[in-house]
Structure 1
């Protein structure tokens, strides 16, 4: 797996990260069925279904970073490995988090997906989301962590000004996805209502959330976005929303398109701007950094060659540990023998202390000095 050095605040170009919510009753079962089907079809090389407790114990026992173990709120961990572009291996982990309180509020179960390839990610590759989740509208896995927002569909902006501004703040501060807003110059037909994100390459398709403003929302949407995000909403056009705080690489002009025709045709200009925006350096949220660390350091689904390498590494480490224990035992034994010799020197061998002759013994030859030398060897790790 690629381990290239990147800024800790920027998403590596080898990674694909996503976070959302599943609102259905059996998210684990939905994932298992999809993984089994894709492995049977030869899409996946292999997959693994892990209990978080077992995964955490395995991470701690193996010579890896303990911080890579799933958190205490994790309820299930899935791993999958597949190949793209014939020879590029992709490894991915999907973690489902226990959220009983949220489930009571109908907010679903939160999931975090981290995938990494052996080279820079290509948007034309298969979406990691569809390696775990089924590509079916009947499975509600594609909800954002921001309530009321969903992938794979058009999300109409709230009518009320306060709710609209609240929505804009939430999606730019909390969401991991790229958010775009399209204004409908006139009410489109069924073909025009199809999300334009469906025209995007597979890996980018599930990183983009589309919002729509109705014809009568032109002014209110423009005012809200100008006030909250310092961007404008062109009538009949589209805009890519910045993240908060706004990245220095964000260009308002390059992120705005004046015309987006919603007639079923491919909006080439806007799609190119989205691809350009997606290629910019992205901030790495703390939770995303943990997910990436867990993927890199807490990986369990090893190939046979990796298993062999790992076993050899474990043998070497155990041998080193055994040698260190043996050395420690020898040091303890030497210290004990030195202490016994010092005690014999002080007592004359019969356990009864002998009074020292005045002037006969120098300071370095005193009983205290003998003990100090004996135990000094034990304390000094270099001896």
Structure 2
């Protein structure tokens, strides 16, 4: 089973996450029209398009992230706040990340936030997995080449954004069997699942391609891939389905496996931490009550800062007064003390002067010594 040595923060129970790619046209125009329609139909309470950030240098002249915020209520009283950020992709498309957070733990029976931001029309190509351009709303047939299939899973599964399901067809199916499992999933899971479909003759090559994932697909069955990193508590046999009847009926066992997998504690996907922080700390779509509460908080913060500055000023003034008092006391004590007579400074002879004096003493001592007797006097 794939593992990761990098420790990531866990996804909060109140948070819903999705990521994808908008293939054609300007995504911000599509989002703007869709949100206006949702607001008119009262599916959402309100939305806000944030102004585009201004660039300061030519090096930053690339189009910045376009951000939309929206809020709505579920179960009549639970508020959901959501934020979608759209950035240019490498191939002309636009990448998007959507983060929603509710006031209570997320219930998958609530509407999908992606379904509220984006239009429902199937011809609007917003539902592509960013890594491999896989569809979030349609079946994704596996490549005919086994190596391509293996490469597909290696590139698509890491990141942790989507739940990947692989279904093997025991025999060729008609239109009744080509219905994605997302059709029967709770609304909150429908835009988080990528379903891969393998043809009958691909079973052996499929399981060969899945060796790196640590799972196998039963013939005519299905499996939920562990993802990278795998969620805590994942056991391959618990998320393997022995038989999926592709006759248009609800695949109950597969729906149960996907739902149980979605409930496992999982680390935040790559890039989700920054998006969640932006949702929580840089939120602009405030109600009148929230704006009033925010202003009260700012007033309280400024009052605390002013009080701290006043206290610091008083402490500084008190310390300065004490320093002046100490200086005055020192000056008074110095003036009252008797002046001590200092001995005159004795000049210190230089080395040359000392040497000269030494020669003079030797010369004087030699002149005072008595002379020696001559030979005649002997």
TM-score, L = length of structure 1? 0.78
1:44-193 alignment to 2 at 5 Å?
44-51=44-51, 53=53, 74-99=64-89, 102=90, 105-106=91-92, 108-193=93-178
CA distance in 2, matches of 1:74, 1:87: 35
Distance 1:21 1:265 in 2: 31
Distance in 1 of aligned mates of 2:257 and 2:148:
28
Deviates more, 1:286-295 or 1:116-125: 286-295
Match of 2:11 in 1: 11
Residue pair 1:145, 1:175 contacting (<8 A) in 2 also? no
Q: Could you tell me how far apart the structure 2 residues matched to 1:86 and 1:254 are?
A: 36
SS across alignment from 1:111: strand
Shift of 1:195: 1.2
Q: 1:222 aligns with which of 197, 200, 207?
A: 207
Go from structure 1 to structure 2 and tell me whether the alpha carbon gap of 1:344 and 1:152 turns closer, same or farther (over 3 Å shift).
Answer: same
Partner of 1:326: 310
Report the more deviating stretch, 298-307 or 121-130: 298-307
Say if 2:132 and 2:156, in contact at 8 Å, map to a contact too.
no
- Whole-angstrom CA distance in 2 between matches of 1:307 and 1:166: 50
Inter-partner Cα distance in structure 2 for 1:245 and 1:73: 32
Distance 1:244 1:141 in 2: 24
Provide the C-alpha distance between the structure 1 equivalents of 2:338 and 2:14, rounded to a whole number of angstroms: 78
CA distance in 1, matches of 2:237, 2:155: 23
Cα deviation, 1:308-342, whole Å, max 9, x if unaligned, reads: 21111111111122223333444555556666667
Q: Which deviations, in whole Å up to 9, do the C-alpha atoms of 1:345-379 show, x marking residues without a partner?
A: 7889xxxx99x9779xxxxxxxxxxxxxxxxxxxx
Residue of structure 1 aligned with 2:233, choices 221, 245, 249? 249
Where 1:254 maps in the other structure, the secondary structure is helix
Give 2:288's aligned residue.
Answer: 304
- 8 Å Cα contact 1:21-1:109 kept in structure 2: yes
Which entry has the higher C-alpha Rg, 1 or 2? 2
What SS does the aligned partner of 1:180 have?
strand
Which runs of 5 or more residues in structure 1 are unaligned? 1-6, 55-71, 360-383
Deviation of 1:157 after TM superposition, in Å, equals 1.0
Q: Is the 8 A contact 2:49 2:69 kept in 1?
A: yes
What TM-score, normalized to structure 2? 0.79
Distance, in Å, in 1 between the alignment partners of 2:171 and 2:338 is: 112
SS in 2 for 1:135: coil
Q: List per-residue Cα deviations over 1:61-108 (Å, max 9, x = no partner).
A: xxxxxxxxxxx9851111111011111111111111244xx1xx24x2
Look up the match of 2:366: none
Task: State whether residues 231 and 264 of structure 2, in contact with CA within 8 Å, keep that contact through their aligned partners in structure 1.
Answer: no
Q: CA deviation at 1:32?
A: 0.8
Q: How large is the Cα RMSD of the aligned pairs?
A: 2.6
Separation (CA, whole Å) in 2 of partners of 1:247 and 1:282: 5
